[in-house]
Amino acid sequence: MSHRVAVLALPGLVTADLGCALQVFGPGALPGVPDAGDEIVVCGAGGAAVPTGDGFDLVVRHGPGALAGADTVVVPGYVPGWDAAPPADVLDALRRAGARGACLVAISVGTFALGHAGLLRGHRATTHPAAARRLAERFPGTTVPAGVPCVVDGNLLSCAGPAHADELARLLGRGEEPGAHHPVPVAALRSALSDTCWWALQHLDRPLGLADLAGHANLSERSLLRHFHDEVGTSPKQWLLGARLDRARRLLETTTLPVDAIARLSGFPSSDALRARFTASFGVPPTTHRRAAH
């Protein structure tokens, strides 16, 4: 069965955000990723012409009723009216989609539409950095973590904007080729450890250990181990190793840096340590993987 995706274009639509949704869900839009077979429809509040925030109207054939049969609902950003509630029929359609368990994806200030529908209460969410404080103020039951570009909480997924399309695609299972080694950032974002995991990903070149993660999370090492096991599904040590291997793989595929430099940037103590771990995980040494990728 195909996966049905409804993209809700609200008045003032940010067309770059719409492009992000089409990049993630459109047929063959992501290089190297097979067509997922998504059935995608763009709908508007009135099912007619939608004024965009970029100076032209977008003609759509469907109204908010298209959300009724969607497995995933995407809400791109819309300006300047994001701080005011969308029409009642739009809010009702969003609430019904959330109630039946559809995946709700908000891009940039599109997160506000979910807030107006009452869907963010008691959840974590993010939005465009310039609007993050307002999101927290406007919907006080929502946790808005600082500096986190993408957040998954239950069936709610929000990202700060189109710049994070690749991360959004990975979170939705569409951003990696089959068999790719992508160990944990996705799982980490689903937990209360999200801030610490994102901090660690930004400092992988450092010799991070259990004590560093526990200190950042303001937990004892024993509590951190328990939370990782319960919420991330692995140990902090294995999480860090997976993240380092993922960093090394990406650098091999996208740069011409020598292996010893990649080892340092990925937090391995030496190029030999990287080679041993990489070969054990991927079945080939780093240089062979690089040749195959190019």
For residue 34, the model assigns a pLDDT of: 45
User: Do both 24 and 136 map to the same domain?
Assistant: yes
User: Do both 87 and 17 map to the same domain?
Assistant: yes
User: In one letter, which amino acid is 153?
Assistant: D
Q: With a threshold of 0.75, does the pTM exceed it?
A: no
Domain count, the chain: 2
User: Do both 10 and 113 map to the same domain?
Assistant: yes
In a domain, 176, yes or no: no
Q: Is the pLDDT of residue 184 over 90?
A: no
User: Do both 153 and 277 map to the same domain?
Assistant: no
Name the band, by pLDDT with cuts 50, 70 and 90, for residue 179: very low
For residue 175, the model assigns a pLDDT of: 53
In a domain, 31, yes or no: yes
Q: What is the tens place of the pLDDT at every residue in 225-265?
A: 988 887 767 788 988 898 898 888 878 877 888 999 999 98
Considering the chain, what percentage of its residues have pLDDT values greater than 90?
46
For residue 36, the model assigns a pLDDT of: 52
Q: Is the pLDDT of residue 178 over 80?
A: no
Least confident of 79-83, 103-107, 162-166, 187-191: 187-191
User: In one letter, which amino acid is 145?
Assistant: P
Find the DSSP H helices in the chain.
15-25, 88-99, 111-116, 132-138, 165-171, 185-189, 194-201, 210-217, 221-227, 236-254, 259-266, 271-282, 286-293
User: Do both 127 and 164 map to the same domain?
Assistant: yes
Considering the chain, what percentage of its residues have pLDDT values greater than 70?
85
User: Do both 294 and 204 map to the same domain?
Assistant: yes
Question: Residue 131: helix, strand or coil by DSSP?
Answer: helix
User: Do both 167 and 200 map to the same domain?
Assistant: no
User: Do both 46 and 163 map to the same domain?
Assistant: yes
Q: What is the mean pLDDT of residues 152-173?
A: 77
Q: What is the CATH number of the domain that holds 106?
A: 3.40.50.880
Please name which of 127, 180, 174, 134 lies closest in space to residue 150, comparing C-alpha atoms: 127
User: In one letter, which amino acid is 200?
Assistant: A
Name the band, by pLDDT with cuts 50, 70 and 90, for residue 294: low
For residue 190, the model assigns a pLDDT of: 44
Task: Report the DSSP beta bridge partners of residue 50.
Answer: 58
Q: What is the mean pLDDT of residues 181-191?
A: 42
For residue 58, the model assigns a pLDDT of: 93
DSSP string, 116-128: HTT-STTSB----
In a domain, 126, yes or no: yes
| Whole-number average pLDDT of the chain | 84
User: Do both 74 and 145 map to the same domain?
Assistant: yes
Give me the residue label for tokens 């990696």: 176
> Which residue range is the domain that position 250 belongs to?
181-294
Sign of CA dihedral 177, 179, 185, 190: positive
In a domain, 141, yes or no: yes
Q: What is the tens place of the pLDDT at every residue in 195-212?
A: 787 778 778 888 999 999
Q: What is the mean pLDDT of residues 75-90?
A: 94
Q: What is the tens place of the pLDDT at every residue in 12-63?
A: 999 989 988 888 887 654 444 445 567 899 999 876 789 999 889 999 999 9
Q: Of 116, 147, 171, which closes a domain?
A: 171
For residue 141, the model assigns a pLDDT of: 93
> Cis bond leading into 80, ω under 30°?
yes
Q: Are strands 57-59 and 3-9 parallel, antiparallel or unpaired?
A: unpaired
Q: What is the CATH number of the domain that holds 240?
A: 1.10.10.60
Q: What is the tens place of the pLDDT at every residue in 188-198?
A: 344 557 778 77
For residue 208, the model assigns a pLDDT of: 92
Give me the residue label for tokens 């909480």: 153
